[in-house]
Structure 1
Amino acid sequence: MNARMLTYYLMVIPAALLFFVFHTFPAIQGIYYSFTNWNGMNLDYDFVGLKNYINLFKDTAVRDSYLFTFKFAIFAGILVNIISLAVAIGLNAKIKGRNFFRAVYFLPNILSVLIVGFIFNYVFTNIMPNLGEKYHIEFLTKNILGNADFAWIGILIVFVWQSCAFNVILYLSGLQTVPNELYEASGLDGANRWQQFWKITFPVIAPFFTINMVLAMKNSLMVFDQIVAMTGGGPGTSTTSISYLIYTGGLAGGEFAFQSANGVIYFIVIMVISVFQLKVLQKREMDM
C-alpha cells in the first residue's frame, strides 16, 4: 500500500467509524428493540415478535399522526417549491441589489429552527392578537396556535418561510444553466414570458425541480422542531406529527419498543415516497 492510499484510508476510516457508531448502530438497535416490549428504562424485556407492528395499525394516535403529517407534507412540499421558484426567478432578473436580496432570502436557512419557532410562537400568541385588537381586525384577535383546526397553518407558515431559503439557492443554481440565447431566439419568434418559462426554463431546470421536490417532501414529512417550539403537538393532538409522536411516546411515554417499530415503518414510508418521487419526476424529465 502506497502513502497516498494509506492517507485515503486514514481520512475515511475515522469518519466511517463515527457514522457507524452514532448512526448505523443506533438504527440497528432500534430495529432490534422494535421486536421487544422494552420500555426504555428497565433492563428486563421480552421478545414479542410482530406484536408492536400489528398494534401500530390499531392505534388511533398513530393513525391521526400519519394523517396530519401527510396533509402537512403535501401542502408544505407544494408551497415551498412554488414560492422558491418564483423568488428565484425574481432574484435571477437583472435588478439592483440582487446579491443583497439573495443573502436576505438565504438568511432563514442559517437560523436555528427552534429559535425561529419560539419567536413565531410569541408573534402568533401576543403580537398578532394585540395588532388585531388595536386595528379592529377580527381574524387576527385570536391566537391561531390555540385553535385545533388552524394551528397547523401557523406551523406551515413558519416551515415554508424557513425552508424556502435553501430551495431558492438550488433554483438559482438551476437558472444559471439556462442559456440566454434561448430566450433571445424565442423572443424573436414572439414567445411571451409564460411560454418561455414553460418551454425553455422549466425543462432545463427540471433536475433541480426533482431534487427540490424530494427534499421538500422529505423535510416536511420529518417536521419536528417547529411543533416542539410552537404547539407541543396541540391543541390536544391536532398537530402531533409522526416524528413528534415517536419522540414523546418513546422517550417520555414508556413506549420505547412500540415507537421503535413506528420509527421503522416511518423510515420505510419516507424511503418509498422519495423513491417514487424520483422515479416519476425523472421520467417526466425524460419526456420533456
Structure 2
Amino acid sequence: MTTLTQAVRSSSTTGEKPARAKRVRLESRRALPAFYWMVWPAVIAFAAFHTVPVLVGIFFSFTNYAGYGEWNFVGFSNYLNLFKDDRVLAAYGFSFLFAIVATILTNVLSLAIALGLNAKIRARNFWRGVYFVPYVLAILVIGYVFQFFFSNSLPKILSGIPLFADNILTNPDWAWTAIVALAVWQACAFAIIIYLSGLQTIPAELYEAASLDGAKPWRQFTSITFPLISAFFTINVVLSLKGFLQVFDPIVALTNGGPGTSTESVTLLIFRGGFSGGEFAYQTANAVIFFVVITIVSLFQFRVLQRREADF
C-alpha cells in the first residue's frame, strides 16, 4: 500500500513539472508586450529630445547657420576657427582652472566632513540632513544671495583687507574664487552623501584590529579608510570634474561672465554666442568639441583612478 501511494505521488509530481514549466512560459510571453509598452515610450522620448537634437546639432556644425535665415555648408572651417579664437581658448582655460580647483576643494572638504559625521557624535542624522540642504536649493536663488554677500556684506566685514575692501566680483583676477566658493558649497552636499555611503561599508573590526596593533588615526585613514572607499572617491572625482567643467548657473548669478570675459566658461560662451550672438553653427561646433573633451577627460579619470581601487 505504501509503495502504491508513493508511485501515485511520484507520477503526479512528474506530471506537475511540465505543466508548471508551461505556465511559466505562458506568463513570460504575456509579460513581453507589457515590457515593450513600458520601454518603448522612454526610448522614443530619449531619441526625440536627446539623440535627434544632437545629430541635428552635429549636422549644423558643418554649416554657417546663424540660427535664422539661409545657410551653406562650410566643412570643417568652424572647427578649425575654434582653435584660432582667443576668446574660446580663454573660456577653456578658465573652465579647466575652475573645475580642477573646485574638484579638489569639494572632495577634500566633503571627505573631512563625512569622516566627522561618520564618527560617534550627537545628533548625527540631524547634521547629515543639514549638510544636504544646499543640494536641494535652487542655485540661481542661492547665487543671488552669495552675490549680495560678496558685494555688500563681505567688504564691510573685511574692510581692513585690501582684497575684500572692494567688491571681489568686480576684480578680474579674483572674481573666479567667489564662483568657486559658491559651487563648492553646493557640491559638497552630494559628495558628502557618497562618502558616507562608502564609509558605512567598512567593517568596524578592521579599525579595532588596527588599534590593537597601535595604528594611529592617520595610519588607519591611509591604510584602511581611503583604500576601501577608493571606488566612491572615483565616482565623486569624475562627477565633480564633469559637473564643474560645465559650470553655468553660479557664473550667471554672480558675475555673468565678467568683469569683461574673465569668468566666462565654455558653456556660457556657447549659450551667448549660439542663442544671441548669431553664431549658432560656430558654437554648435564648440559644443561638439567640448563634449569630446569631457568624454576623454572622464574616461582618462576612470582609467587612472580605478587602478588604485582596493578590492573588498
Smaller-chain TM-score bracket: over 0.9
8 Å CA contact retained: 2:228, 2:310: no
Once the two structures are superposed, what CA deviation does each residue of 1:17-59 show, in whole Å capped at 9, x if it has no partner? 11111111111111011000000021x1000000000000000
Q: Distance in 2 between matches of 1:159 and 1:287?
A: 32
Counterpart secondary structure, 2:210: helix
User: Paired residue for 1:174?
Assistant: 198
Q: CA deviation at 1:137?
A: 4.8
Question: Amino acid of the residue matched to residue 84 of structure 2?
Answer: K
Counterpart secondary structure, 1:240: coil
User: Paired residue for 2:66?
Assistant: 39
Unmatched segments (≥5 aa) in structure 2: 1-27
8 Å CA contact retained: 2:227, 2:310: no
Whether 2:106 is the aligned partner of 1:83: answer: no
User: Paired residue for 2:229?
Assistant: 205
Once the two structures are superposed, what CA deviation does each residue of 1:43-89 show, in whole Å capped at 9, x if it has no partner? x1000000000000000000000010111111011111111100000
8 Å CA contact retained: 2:206, 2:224: yes
Whether 2:287 is the aligned partner of 1:245: answer: no
Question: Amino acid of the residue matched to residue 217 of structure 1?
Answer: L
Unmatched segments (≥5 aa) in structure 1: none
User: Paired residue for 1:70?
Assistant: 96
Question: Amino acid of the residue matched to residue 221 of structure 1?
Answer: L
1:120 pairs with one of 141, 146, 151: 146
Q: Distance in 2 between matches of 1:50 and 1:162?
A: 39
Q: Distance in 1 between matches of 2:108 and 2:278?
A: 41
User: Paired residue for 2:49?
Assistant: 22
Question: Amino acid of the residue matched to residue 246 of structure 1?
Answer: I
Q: CA deviation at 1:129?
A: 1.9
Counterpart secondary structure, 1:238: coil
Cα RMSD between the aligned structures? 1.4
Aligned length: 285
Where do 1:1-288 residues align within 5 Å?
2-42=29-69, 44-133=70-159, 136-285=160-309
Q: CA deviation at 1:138?
A: 4.4
TM-score (norm 2): 0.89
Question: Amino acid of the residue matched to residue 126 of structure 2?
Answer: F
Q: Distance in 1 between matches of 2:101 and 2:168?
A: 18
Q: CA deviation at 1:130?
A: 2.9
Q: Distance in 2 between matches of 1:141 and 1:23?
A: 47
Once the two structures are superposed, what CA deviation does each residue of 1:183-225 show, in whole Å capped at 9, x if it has no partner? 0000000000000000001111010000101001001100000
The percent of aligned pairs where both chains have the same amino acid is 54
Q: 1:138 to 1:61 in 2, by over 3 A?
A: closer
TM-score (norm 1): 0.96
Question: Amino acid of the residue matched to residue 233 of structure 1?
Answer: G
